[in-house]
Amino acid sequence: MGSETLIEVILAILLPPVGVFLRYGLGVEFWIDLVLTLVGYLPGIIYAIYILMEISGVFS
Q: CA-CA distances (angstroms) from residue 11 to 7, 60?
A: 6, 23
Please report, in tens digits, the pLDDT of each residue of the chain (60 residues total).
567 778 888 888 899 999 889 888 999 999 999 999 999 999 999 999 998 888 666 665
Q: Residue 35 has what pLDDT?
A: 96
Identify the DSSP state of 59.
T
- Count up the domains in the chain and report the number: 1
For the whole prediction, is pTM greater than 0.75?
Answer: yes
Q: Which domain holds residue 26?
A: 3-56
pLDDT at 59: 60
User: Radius of gyration of the chain from Cα atoms?
Assistant: 10
Q: What is the DSSP string of 4-32?
A: HHHHHHHHHHHSHHHHHHHHHSSSHHHHH
Q: How far is CA 40 from the centre of its chain?
A: 14
Cβ contact 14:25 at 8 Å: no
